[in-house]
Structure 1
Amino acid sequence: MDTVVAAGGGKLRGFVTAGGLAEFRGIPFARAARFAPPEPIEPWTGIRDATRHGPVSPQPPVRPDGVMGVPADVPAQDEDCLNLTVLTPAADDRKRPVMVWLHGGAYVTGSNSFGFYGGHRLVAEGDVVFVAPNYRLGALGYLRLPGVSPGNLGLLDQLAALRWVRENAVAFGGNPDDVTVFGQSAGAHSIACLMALPESRGLFRRAILQSAPLGLRLAGARTAARTARLFTAALGADPRTAPVTEVLRAQNETIVKAAGPGGLYSVPPFCPVADAPPLPSVAHWMSQRARFAPDVDVLIGTTAAEMNSFLTGKPGIAQLERFPVTARGVAALKAGVTRWMFAAPSLAFADQLAARGGRVYSYVFDWGAPESPYGAGHCVDLPFLLGDEPAWRNAPMLAGAEWSELTELGRELRAAWLSFAKTGTPSPGWARHTPKQAPHRLP
């Protein structure tokens, strides 16, 4: 059954799901030329079809050996990718809390239309409005090359999406004054960037940061310049006019060279850059990201063994793990890098927010599938919150797990996230974060 709303630049025709939710796909929230900031969209006449997913940012294929598996439906790609999905119980006047999802993918891959990221369970169980935008990725979104690309375009896209939510949430039964932005990995790192910006003030009331690689900080001028040199050398053409296939090829070569021997240095070369609008310097970002702490409630946490998902199975690592003596060293390496890249900086951020008067909750997610070599690795929390059984059926990180177990534990986790989005408190059993306090253990 169709459903029609007036929002954005005109009327939109969505559809009603089998579960009775109203879904609108491929809604344009901005437009942008290559390497240009996002601009408002032009209004349209008539009723625009919003029953099909819009294109996503050009990106390489999802690795078949990834911990999450390969999405069943591969979305179309196009540089005209600034669109979003809205999922709501009803486009009425209820003014429900709004949850805006920023996907991860190392700033290079990801899509709001991956089945992994479906928000249907959250919407049905929590009576909330779910919004998931696409934003520009890789070189198209984060190349910093003076005279060509200013950098941070993907971040500007996210700001544009949040402004769209502010202006249009009411049309979908949402409350623009009760927005929670939540994201995982690069999506969570993006939220930490957004929290430092005066431009984002008033666009969200609460934030959930899952597995934010805050040890990454921001790319400095030297790092951004090196990435640009590697990229332009690999491209061998004007980035402003080169075919997008060539841009992706050069982007991949840049990532491989930046990762070094064995690909062990997996810090994304295309990422938010300091001293490029709208971001301040690295030092100022570290201090300013908590400047609005009293205005934004925060839930922040990591999985217990983040780096398992990046290092387990690597050729050199796998060889060392065959022998007990060296295996212990590898385990210590994984734990150490998890603390350095994820756990320690996330807790430091929580401390910083709490010291500035923010209401903060912290957690560690410690669950692993019985036959998975990744344990409580990066991304393992996602099936408990988003997507459904068909979307996650072939995920290597869930090997040996029964979906019934994920359903039971997931209901508890979703209830905590939904409670936080509605009240600023995950559940009565959670204590507010204070410096040097151990984070809440999940599940």
Structure 2
Amino acid sequence: MTSVFDTVSGRVRGRAPDRGVVAVLGIPYAEPPFGADRFREPRPRRAWEGVRDCVEYGPVAPQSAELPGAPRWSPGDEDVLGLNVWTPARGSGAENRLLPVLVWIHGGAYTFGSSAQPDFDGTALARAGLVVVTLNYRVGFEGFGHVPAEGDDVCPPNRGLLDQIAALEWVRDNIASFGGAPDQVTVAGQSAGATSVACLMTMDGARGLFRRAIAHSAVGPVFAPELAEDLTRKVATEAGIAATHAALAAASPQALVQASDAVVDGFRQDVHSGRLSWDPVIFGPVADGHLLRADPLELIAAGAAPDIDLLVCHTTQEYWLMDAVGSCAEITSEEELVCFATDFGLPDSLAAGYRRLVPEATVRDVHLAVYGDLSFGEYSNRLAVAHARTGGRTFLSRFARQRGGSGPRVYAWHCADIPFAFGNLAAESVQFLIGGPPTPADHRLSDRMVAAWAGFAAEGDPGWEPADDIVSPGVIKVWGTADPDAGPDFWQDGEALRALWSAFTYRPEQP
């Protein structure tokens, strides 16, 4: 049984079939984005001779993160624009027809993460009848930092998004060799990956490369150009260089990673730095007016993508994860809660409205609930509503599975839904996210979520009714049930919760 496949750049050999699925890992889809190509649009991969062994994940993009079960970036790693394919083995009954394709874009605050994380293994989804692609793209300064023009020499913003488009072009040109249908592609992502998906829905360069989209816990809004420019100046100052094209290009990727981390730490320690003091994210897509004309929420509301089917999900306790890993400032007093609301321009009535929904909630609980909905829940809901109102076929769901018991409480927090949707509950690296070894009920929930993704990618039908233009409660799928001992559930009255946000408007982040 062969595991060799043709691509436009050359032949590749994957791993031996495992459970009826062949994994082909670390396929380069573009040239290494360094040297003369640094801070540039990705260039197509040059051809190679012979058969290239693709049995291990490729290098990850420059970053300082060390994620459980995933490879680290090592200074000197440059061939970072690679992707992975999982496809049913030939002879498994799928060889006579092309299968729907799901392309996954990882999250990580546009600063860290990779396609090699164990929770993104595509085996279970391939067994459900998909060809699965996961990809690396430039993150941090390499992918999203502002690089000033030097004469006529202009480095594009949103290079990470351009990498994603290049990977989708590779899928269009090559995926049939792996048994995938190039005209039946679903692009999916979570967190920064979900907002990347929303951006791609509106970008001219991605037009026609996919027909469906899945966005879990989209985070918004994107950056204004002025903020990206201001943050570049801060990173350059920390690196001890000028904020010029020449100086930034001469700085090593490691130096810019270290300087970026130092800027983040500085914001955390400065309580007077406004929004960025709470949980600083200093890179992200930029509404530059050209590649990305505006925030994707605004563009989708204006009817930018009515022909793309959209499946949206968010978790009901997003920010409890950030509290658990210590990435956000801790709030314990009403005065701090007022300061938080002021820094983010939130209506005065918002926190009080949350407290009315769950009177027993602590100040900490209210803060985490508001912050999670501000960053993920409400932004995701508005994407769904905006798309439905412009005629786009839209499905909305919420992940509410919690876990109490004798161990530490595990909430329906950020990232917890993804191992369920990928069918990877047994991976040791996800035990923290889901609260220990999975139960039989967890496996049943995972099976349903895998089937929903597979059904949506194949037929545009995840198994429940599409949303109307107001997203009535009856058309929202809820995954799992809340353990009453696991924590406050503000989303028990979703209509009342969403009404609290009616006076708030998302705008691109300014300095």
Q: 2:441 — aligned with what?
A: 405
Change in 2 beyond 3 A, CA 1:337/1:433: farther
Question: Is the CA contact 2:425–2:443 (under 8 Å) kept in the aligned structure 1?
Answer: no
Question: Is the CA contact 1:26–1:54 (under 8 Å) kept in the aligned structure 2?
Answer: yes
Whether 1:239 and 2:236 are equivalent positions in the alignment is: no
CA distance in 1: counterparts of 2:86 and 2:290, whole angstroms: 32
Instruction: State the shift of 1:431 in Å.
Output: 4.3
Counterpart pick for 1:253 among 223, 244, 262 = 262
Over residues 149-197 of structure 1, what are the superposed CA-to-partner deviations in whole Å (9 max), with x where a residue is unaligned?
4321000000000011011111000000100011100000101111111
Question: Is the CA contact 2:28–2:79 (under 8 Å) kept in the aligned structure 1?
Answer: no
**Higher mean C-alpha displacement, 31-40 vs 188-197:** 31-40
Question: Is the CA contact 2:157–2:288 (under 8 Å) kept in the aligned structure 1?
Answer: no
Instruction: State the shift of 1:43 in Å.
Output: 1.1
Percent of matched pairs sharing the same residue: 34
Q: 1:274 — aligned with what?
A: 287
Counterpart pick for 1:442 among 479, 485, 493 = 479
Instruction: State the shift of 1:421 in Å.
Output: 0.8
Aligned residue runs from structure 1 range 33-432, under 5 A: 33-62=37-66, 70-77=67-74, 78-90=77-89, 92-124=95-127, 126-147=128-149, 149-213=155-219, 216-237=220-241, 238-259=247-268, 261=270, 264-275=277-288, 277-282=290-295, 286-288=298-300, 291-312=303-324, 314=326, 317=330, 328-370=362-404, 371-386=407-422, 388-392=424-428, 395-400=431-436, 402-427=438-463, 429-432=464-467
Q: Which amino acid aligns with 2:103?
A: V
Change in 2 beyond 3 A, CA 1:90/1:419: same
Q: Which amino acid aligns with 2:206?
A: S
**Higher mean C-alpha displacement, 361-370 vs 83-92:** 83-92
CA distance in 2: counterparts of 1:394 and 1:378, whole angstroms: 12
**Higher mean C-alpha displacement, 430-439 vs 223-232:** 430-439
Q: Which amino acid aligns with 2:262?
A: E
Q: Which amino acid aligns with 1:404?
A: P
Local SS of the residue matching 1:395: helix
CA distance in 1: counterparts of 2:123 and 2:332, whole angstroms: 42
Over residues 108-167 of structure 1, what are the superposed CA-to-partner deviations in whole Å (9 max), with x where a residue is unaligned?
11111111211111111x211000110001011100121274321000000000011011
Local SS of the residue matching 1:100: strand
Instruction: State the shift of 1:403 in Å.
Output: 4.3
Question: Is the CA contact 2:389–2:468 (under 8 Å) kept in the aligned structure 1?
Answer: no
Over residues 273-302 of structure 1, what are the superposed CA-to-partner deviations in whole Å (9 max), with x where a residue is unaligned?
1116511144x8613576343311000021
Q: 1:24 — aligned with what?
A: 24
Q: 2:10 — aligned with what?
A: 10
Question: Is the CA contact 2:423–2:447 (under 8 Å) kept in the aligned structure 1?
Answer: no
Segments of structure 1 that go 5 or more residues without pairing to the other structure are: 63-69
Change in 2 beyond 3 A, CA 1:298/1:310: same
Which structure has the larger Rg?
2
Instruction: State the shift of 1:55 in Å.
Output: 0.7
CA distance in 2: counterparts of 1:277 and 1:113, whole angstroms: 32
Question: Is the CA contact 2:185–2:212 (under 8 Å) kept in the aligned structure 1?
Answer: yes
Instruction: State the shift of 1:257 in Å.
Output: 2.7
Q: Which amino acid aligns with 2:169?
A: R
CA distance in 2: counterparts of 1:248 and 1:394, whole angstroms: 26
Question: Is the CA contact 1:83–1:133 (under 8 Å) kept in the aligned structure 2?
Answer: yes
Question: Is the CA contact 1:143–1:150 (under 8 Å) kept in the aligned structure 2?
Answer: no
Instruction: State the shift of 1:400 in Å.
Output: 4.5
Question: Is the CA contact 1:372–1:396 (under 8 Å) kept in the aligned structure 2?
Answer: no
Local SS of the residue matching 2:41: coil
Runs of 4+ in 1 over 6 A off after TM superposition: 318-321
CA distance in 2: counterparts of 1:211 and 1:30, whole angstroms: 28
Local SS of the residue matching 1:16: coil
Local SS of the residue matching 1:364: strand
Q: Which amino acid aligns with 2:469?
A: T
Change in 2 beyond 3 A, CA 1:436/1:48: closer
What is the TM-score normalised by the length of structure 2? 0.78
Q: 1:67 — aligned with what?
A: none
Local SS of the residue matching 1:234: helix
Question: Is the CA contact 1:59–1:109 (under 8 Å) kept in the aligned structure 2?
Answer: yes
Question: Is the CA contact 2:22–2:86 (under 8 Å) kept in the aligned structure 1?
Answer: yes
Over residues 218-267 of structure 1, what are the superposed CA-to-partner deviations in whole Å (9 max), with x where a residue is unaligned?
21122112211111001123221222221211111122234454775224
Instruction: State the shift of 1:426 in Å.
Output: 0.7
Instruction: State the shift of 1:380 in Å.
Output: 0.8
What is the TM-score normalised by the length of structure 1? 0.90
Q: Which amino acid aligns with 1:131?
A: V
Local SS of the residue matching 1:98: strand
Over residues 27-81 of structure 1, what are the superposed CA-to-partner deviations in whole Å (9 max), with x where a residue is unaligned?
111123221110111111111111121111011123xxxxxxx422425542321
CA distance in 2: counterparts of 1:145 and 1:53, whole angstroms: 30
Instruction: State the shift of 1:393 in Å.
Output: 5.2
